[in-house]
Amino acid sequence: MSLEVDIDHTRGSFHVAARFTAAPGLTALFGRSGSGKTTLVDIVGGLVRPDRGRVAVDGQVILDTERGVFVPSHRRRIGYVFQDSRLFPHLSVRRNLLYGRWFNREPGSGAADLGSVVDLLGIGHLLERRPDSLSGGEKQRVAIGRALLAHPQLLLMDEPLAALDEARRAEILPYIERLRDEMGVPILYVSHSVAEVARLATTVVILTDGKVTAVGPVADILPLADSGDGGSVLDATVARHDEAFQLSVLTSAAGELQVPRLSAPVGAPVRAYIRARDVMLSLRPPEEISALNVLAGRIATIESGGAQAEVRLDCNGAALIARLTAKSVQRLALAPGKPVYAVIKSVSFERS
Amino acid sequence: MTPEEWTAVRLSLLVATTATLASLPLGIAMAWLLARRQFWGKSLLDTLVHLPLILPPVVTGYLLLISFGKRGPIGAFLDQAFGIVFSFRWTGAALACAVMGFPLLVRAIRLSIEAVDVRLESAAGTLGANPLWVFATVTLPLCLPGVIAGAILCFAKSMGEFGATITFVSNIPGETQTLPSLIYTLTQVPGGDAGAMRLTLVSIAISMLALLGSELLARRIGVHRMAA
Give the pLDDT confidence score for residue A187 in this predicted structure: 92
pLDDT value at A350 more than 60 = no
* Arithmetic mean of pLDDT over chain A: 84
**A101-120: burial string, b at 16+ Cβ within 10 Å, e else:** bebbeeeeeebbeeeebbeb
Tell whether A164 and A282 lie within a shared domain.
Answer: no
B43 in A contact zone (CB under 8 Å): no
Give the H/E segment covering residue A22: strand A14-22
Interface test with B, best of A47, A92, A99 (most B CBs within 10 A): A99
Q: Using N-to-C axis directions, what is the helix angle for A136-149 and A114-121, rounded to 10°?
A: 150
Tell whether A116 and A11 lie within a shared domain.
Answer: yes
Domain membership flag for residue A244:
no
Tell whether A111 and A195 lie within a shared domain.
Answer: yes
- Please give the Cα distance from B139 to B132 (Å, whole number): 10
Neighbour-count burial of B85, counting CB atoms closer than 10 A to its CB (0-12 exposed, 13-18 middle, 19+ buried): middle
Domain membership flag for residue A243:
no
Given pLDDT bands bounded at 50, 70 and 90, which one contains residue A228?
low
pLDDT value at A31 more than 90 = no
Domain membership flag for residue A242:
no
Interface test with B, best of A49, A86, A149 (most B CBs within 10 A): A86
Which residues does chain B have within 8 Å of residue A130's beta carbon, measured at their own beta carbons?
Answer: 226
* CATH classification at residue A324: 2.40.50.100
DSSP state of B171: -
Give the H/E segment covering residue A28: strand A26-30
How far A285 CA lies from chain B's nearest CA (Å)? 56
Q: Are B158 and B151 in contact (CB under 8 A)?
A: no
Chain B residue with minimum CA distance to A77:
B128
Give the H/E segment covering residue A5: strand A3-11
Tell whether A58 and A190 lie within a shared domain.
Answer: yes
Range of the domain at A297: 231-236+271-350
More reliable by pLDDT, A342 or A104: A342
What is the DSSP annotation of A134-158?
S-HHHHHHHHHHHHHHT--SEEEEE
Q: Distance of alpha carbon A217 from its chain centroid, rounded?
A: 11
B132 in A contact zone (CB under 8 Å): no
Give Dmax (Cα) for chain B. Answer: 69
Which of B119, B131, B137 faces A86 most closely, judged by CB atoms? B119
Given pLDDT bands bounded at 50, 70 and 90, which one contains residue B103?
very high
Interface test with A, best of B112, B117, B118, B127 (most A CBs within 10 A): B127
- Please give the Cα distance from B12 to B206 (Å, whole number): 11
Domain membership flag for residue A342:
yes
Which residues does chain A have within 8 Å of residue B123's beta carbon, measured at their own beta carbons?
Answer: 80, 82, 86, 88
Length of chain A in terms of residues written: 352
Give the pLDDT confidence score for residue B222 in this predicted structure: 63
Alpha carbon of B139 to those of A217, B37, B106, B136: distances in Å? 42, 14, 15, 6
B124 and A99 within 8 Å at the Cβ level: the answer is: yes
- Please give the Cα distance from A158 to A146 (Å, whole number): 15
* CATH classification at residue A168: 3.40.50.300
Query: A339-344 and A318-325 as β-strands: parallel, antiparallel, unpaired?
Result: unpaired
Neighbour-count burial of A60, counting CB atoms closer than 10 A to its CB (0-12 exposed, 13-18 middle, 19+ buried): exposed
Given pLDDT bands bounded at 50, 70 and 90, which one contains residue A158?
very high
- Please give the Cα distance from B47 to B24 (Å, whole number): 19
Q: Which residue numbers of A have CB closer than 8 Å to B's CBs?
A: 45-47, 72-80, 82, 84, 86, 88-92, 95, 99-100, 102-105, 130, 146-147, 150
Q: Are A207 and A189 in contact (CB under 8 A)?
A: no
Interface size A-B, in CB pairs within 8 Å, comes to: 72
A72 and B125 within 8 Å at the Cβ level: the answer is: yes
Q: Which of these, A48, B167, A26, A298, lies nearest to A18 by C-alpha position?
A: A48
- Please give the Cα distance from B54 to B100 (Å, whole number): 10
Pick from A224, A255, A290: which residue ends a domain?
Answer: A224
Q: Are A41 and A158 in contact (CB under 8 A)?
A: yes
Interface test with B, best of A74, A101, A155, A185 (most B CBs within 10 A): A74
Give the pLDDT confidence score for residue A229 in this predicted structure: 58
Q: Are A212 and A219 in contact (CB under 8 A)?
A: no
Under CATH, which number does the domain B3-227 receive?
1.10.3720.10
Given pLDDT bands bounded at 50, 70 and 90, which one contains residue A317?
confident
B127 and A82 within 8 Å at the Cβ level: the answer is: no
Chain A residue with minimum CA distance to B128:
A74
Domain membership flag for residue A261:
no
pLDDT value at A85 more than 60 = yes
Q: Which of A65-69, A287-291, B14-18, B65-69 has the weakest average pLDDT?
A: A287-291
What are the φ and ψ backbone dihedral angles of A120, each rounded to 5 degrees?
Answer: -60, -40
Which residues does chain B have within 8 Å of residue A90's beta carbon, measured at their own beta carbons?
Answer: 141-142, 225, 228
First-last CA distance in chain A: 24
pLDDT value at B41 more than 50 = yes
Q: What pairs with residue A5 in β-bridges?
A: A20, A55
Interface test with B, best of A41, A73, A98 (most B CBs within 10 A): A73
Helices (H), A252-338: 326-331
Q: Are A33 and A192 in contact (CB under 8 A)?
A: yes
Helix-then-strand count for chain A, H and E: 8, 21
What are the φ and ψ backbone dihedral angles of A337, each rounded to 5 degrees?
Answer: 95, -20
A88 and B130 within 8 Å at the Cβ level: the answer is: no
- Please give the Cα distance from B135 to B124 (Å, whole number): 10
Tell whether A89 and A171 lie within a shared domain.
Answer: yes
Domain membership flag for residue A259:
no
Which of A72, A78, A90 faces B225 most closely, judged by CB atoms? A90
Tell whether A172 and A317 lie within a shared domain.
Answer: no
Q: Are A114 and A151 in contact (CB under 8 A)?
A: no
More reliable by pLDDT, A349 or B85: B85
Long-range contacts made by residues A61-68, C-beta under 8 angstroms, separation at least 24? Answer: A63/A7
Domain count, chain A: 2
Sheet-wide strand order for A269-275: A255-260, A247-252, A231-242, A269-275, A349-350
What are the φ and ψ backbone dihedral angles of B178, each rounded to 5 degrees?
Answer: -85, 175
Which of A91, A92, A100 faces B128 most closely, judged by CB atoms? A100
Tell whether A217 and A292 lie within a shared domain.
Answer: no
How many Cβ atoms sit within 10 Å of the Cβ of residue B193? 11
How far B144 CA lies from chain A's nearest CA (Å)? 11
pLDDT, tens digit (0-9, with 9 covering 90-100), for A162-208: 877 777 787 788 888 888 888 778 899 998 888 788 888 888 898 88
Given pLDDT bands bounded at 50, 70 and 90, which one contains residue B226?
very low
Tell whether A215 and A292 lie within a shared domain.
Answer: no
B226 in A contact zone (CB under 8 Å): yes
What is the DSSP annotation of A61-114?
EEEETTTTEE--GGGT-EEEE-TT----TTS-HHHHHTGGGGG-SSTTSS---H
- Please give the Cα distance from B9 to B209 (Å, whole number): 14
A147 and B225 within 8 Å at the Cβ level: the answer is: no
Mean pLDDT of B167-192: 91
- Please give the Cα distance from A187 to A79 (Å, whole number): 9
Q: What pairs with residue A247 in β-bridges?
A: A242, A260
- Please give the Cα distance from B183 to B193 (Å, whole number): 9
Stated pTM of the model: 0.76
B123 and A86 within 8 Å at the Cβ level: the answer is: yes
B137 in A contact zone (CB under 8 Å): yes
Give the pLDDT confidence score for residue B228 in this predicted structure: 41
B126 and A92 within 8 Å at the Cβ level: the answer is: no
Q: Distance of alpha carbon A94 from its chain centroid, rounded?
A: 28
pLDDT, tens digit (0-9, with 9 covering 90-100), for B42-98: 999 999 999 999 999 999 999 999 999 888 899 889 988 888 889 889 999 999 999
- Please give the Cα distance from B125 to A191 (Å, whole number): 23
pLDDT value at B213 more than 60 = yes
Which residues does chain B have within 8 Å of residue A80's beta carbon, measured at their own beta carbons?
Answer: 123, 126
- Please give the Cα distance from B114 to B50 (Å, whole number): 18
